[in-house]
Amino acid sequence: MSNMKHNIREEIISILRRDGHSTVAILTRQLNEMGIECTRQKVERVLRNLIRDNVIEVYYINANHRRHYRLR
């Protein structure tokens, strides 16, 4: 795993630990504001890997069909 992917992974876990839950758009914006250059696609790839590794889970709020992510 490259250092950049590891950094994005750790920062996403940190954000979810702090905020409780988040969406891809919010995570991407927060990472970019922290100076970590990433795209929505890169964040989604890391999130899929975190789901596969059973670190986070996905759920839906209301009926807006937006995926929200939180730590297990």
**Run of H or E including 31:** helix 24-33
In the chain, domain spans: 3-71
For the domain covering 3-71, report its CATH number. 1.10.10.10
pLDDT at 7 over 60: yes
The pTM score is 0.87
The residue with greater pLDDT, 66 or 31, is 31
Exposed/middle/buried for residue 13 (C-beta within 10 Å: 0-12, 13-18, 19+): middle
Helices H / strands E in the chain, number of each: 3, 2
pLDDT tens for each residue of 9-25: 999 999 999 999 999 99
